[in-house]
Structure 1
Amino acid sequence: MLRGLYTAASGMLSQQRRHDTVTNNIANLNTPGFKEMNAVNRAFPDMLISALGGPDPSDGKLGKLNLGVFAEENLMRMGQGDLQQTDRRQDMALMSDITVAGIQFDASGKYVDPDTGEVTYKPEAFFTIRTPEGERYTRDGSFKTLPDGTLVTSDGFEVVDKNGGSIKIDDIAWEQVTVTGDGRLVDSTTGQALANSPQLNIVSVENPNLLIRKGDGRYEYTGDPAGIRQLNLADPTERVQVRQGYLERSNVDSAQSAVDIMSALRAYEANQKVVQFYDRSLDKAVNEIGRV
């Protein structure tokens, strides 16, 4: 009986975690570049009940019993968000549709080889920024400039150019700067590159699931350094473009989030009623049956 009580309680905890995840998604509906999170439920380690011992571990097994579920991780959905026009020259958005030869990704950006079961994830493009902890990556292009003309993120971290340096505009105003589709900064009146020919450092992350959220739209890459490569946006086969005067909106589906939050609430209530049933049963067992 207690096993069922623990199972229902674990269900309540997992639905609470799912509810919190969806609530966070809804709270970031208007956050530029925000990527939706999905809570993943997994079974507790299976309990194997053995009736007979023997050299073959499969001998004598009566079966396996799961002790409930646990929302142990949140996975990002890295799909492209809609673009919102702002007409602000320091706002930039990435249009990313990177392909891999011979692979057709599903809506979640994943491909499973039918023969080997190997999983391949859709690469995604990111701006590169510099923080005191090292390089980080973001899709939030709501940039601004410091008094000395250095291009930084909304919270003050430098945007990195292709040579690993900062991007500094000190000879002309930003109203005269045009950012081309391949990330180059040029003088809008002459069409010529600015001093030092600054160009945004746009990188491709081969497996976005290896990114860790660091807050405020920043990500840290924890995989093999070979999994990140600098993109040449002048090559049309890269299928990535910079759009000046636009921001990428959150990719959260507000309608689906409303459905998910109600589903989590109903599942939580169902598990709560199971806990209440077990509580009443234990009460009877202790106070009524025990007295007889």
Structure 2
Amino acid sequence: MLRGLYTAASGMITQQRRHDTVTQNIANINTPGYKQVDSIERAFPDMLLSLSNGDEGMTNRQIGRINTGVLAEESVSMNVQGDVHPTDSADDFAIVSEINLADPATGQNIPFDASGKYVAPNGTVTYRPQAFFTVTGKDGNTGYTRDGNFHLNGAGNLLTTTGNPVLGTTGNPITLQGSMEDYNVDSRGIITAKATGGEVGRIGITVVNQPGLMTRTGDGLFTVNNPATAGVRQLQAGDNVEIRQGYLEGSTVDAAASMVELNAALRAYESNQKVIQFYDKSLDKAVNEVGRV
């Protein structure tokens, strides 16, 4: 009986975390460059039940497997391209990233699904590489973001919405004079002065071959613990990546799907709650009524 009580309790905790994840997505539905987060659940290891000395001539007989609960294993960001919207502001930038990879077996482009991954017939999983703006985080380490809502401060530093310096291709913060209205930025991130037409800098774009290995740190930033394993590299000439000035990338949150997920988590939470109430009544009767017999 207690096993079922613990199973229902683990289900309530899992659904609460699932609910929190969806709530976070809905709260950031209008955040530029935000990537939807999905909660991944898995079951506790199954236990194999057997009946000792159940049949003549057999030591034990297998009955079957029983599950002992569920847990929210991790939250995974959906690193896919979001819709790009014009803002008519020279301070805004969007990345349009559609990097293709060739299948070694066929030589054809890998057909990635809507979540940005491809599962080969042999079970090998390949993720679509994604491009990011390169910035300096609050801790001084390199961070990556798709939120291109930048601005120039009084000192001429190009900063993100939360004040993180935007880095150039040299790894140094970008510093400009005047306002972004005085500059043009082409599709490869080259910044040119309108007055002279000369190049004054380049926006640093970093490509991550394994975006699923990135860690979300808040404020729309991601970090990479092991750049070599994640395949962190600079933007290459053959990459199908375009920077658009005067545009912002919207979030990848699906509002309708999020509301369905929110209600499903609530209903599952209530179901587990009723199971616990049932076990509570059963234990109460066993202790206070059956125990008196």
TM-score by length of 2: 0.90
Q: Residue 158 of structure 2 aligns with which residue?
A: 151
- In the alignment, the residues of structure 2 paired with residue 169 and residue 141 of structure 1 have an alpha-carbon distance, to the nearest angstrom, of 17
- In the alignment, the residues of structure 2 paired with residue 60 and residue 159 of structure 1 have an alpha-carbon distance, to the nearest angstrom, of 65
**From 231, 234, 245, the counterpart of 1:230:** 234
- In the alignment, the residues of structure 2 paired with residue 133 and residue 193 of structure 1 have an alpha-carbon distance, to the nearest angstrom, of 27
User: Structure 1's 133 and 166: CA in aligned 2 closer, same or farther, altered over 3 A?
Assistant: closer
- In the alignment, the residues of structure 2 paired with residue 133 and residue 167 of structure 1 have an alpha-carbon distance, to the nearest angstrom, of 15
Q: Residue 55 of structure 1 aligns with which residue?
A: none
User: Does residue 107 in structure 1 map to residue 114 in structure 2?
Assistant: yes
User: Does residue 166 in structure 1 map to residue 173 in structure 2?
Assistant: yes
Q: Residue 106 of structure 2 aligns with which residue?
A: none
User: Does residue 126 in structure 1 map to residue 160 in structure 2?
Assistant: no
Shift of 1:61: 5.2
Q: Residue 255 of structure 2 aligns with which residue?
A: 254
User: Structure 1's 155 and 60: CA in aligned 2 closer, same or farther, altered over 3 A?
Assistant: same
- In the alignment, the residues of structure 2 paired with residue 110 and residue 155 of structure 1 have an alpha-carbon distance, to the nearest angstrom, of 30
Contact 2:152 2:179 in 1 (8 A): no
Q: Residue 285 of structure 1 aligns with which residue?
A: 286
Q: Residue 274 of structure 1 aligns with which residue?
A: 275
CA RMSD of aligned residues (A): 1.9
Superposed CA deviations along residues 10-64 of structure 1, whole A, max 9, x for unmatched, are 1111111101110010000111111111111111123344667xxxxxx965443
Q: Residue 9 of structure 1 aligns with which residue?
A: 9
Contact 2:35 2:252 in 1 (8 A): yes
Q: Residue 205 of structure 2 aligns with which residue?
A: 202
User: Structure 1's 188 and 99: CA in aligned 2 closer, same or farther, altered over 3 A?
Assistant: same
State the SS of the aligned residue for 1:159.
coil
- In the alignment, the residues of structure 1 paired with residue 143 and residue 290 of structure 2 have an alpha-carbon distance, to the nearest angstrom, of 63
Q: Residue 39 of structure 1 aligns with which residue?
A: 39
User: Does residue 20 in structure 1 map to residue 20 in structure 2?
Assistant: yes
Superposed CA deviations along residues 170-200 of structure 1, whole A, max 9, x for unmatched, are 2x54212011011000123554323xxx111
State the SS of the aligned residue for 1:290.
helix
Identity %: 51
- In the alignment, the residues of structure 1 paired with residue 195 and residue 254 of structure 2 have an alpha-carbon distance, to the nearest angstrom, of 40
Q: Residue 56 of structure 1 aligns with which residue?
A: none
State the SS of the aligned residue for 2:199.
coil
Gaps of 5+ in 1: 53-58
State the SS of the aligned residue for 2:76.
strand
- In the alignment, the residues of structure 2 paired with residue 65 and residue 133 of structure 1 have an alpha-carbon distance, to the nearest angstrom, of 49
Shift of 1:106: 1.1
- In the alignment, the residues of structure 1 paired with residue 63 and residue 152 of structure 2 have an alpha-carbon distance, to the nearest angstrom, of 67
TM-score by length of 1: 0.90
Between Structure 1 and Structure 2, how many residues are aligned? Answer: 279
Shift of 1:156: 1.7
Q: Residue 95 of structure 1 aligns with which residue?
A: 96
State the SS of the aligned residue for 1:162.
coil
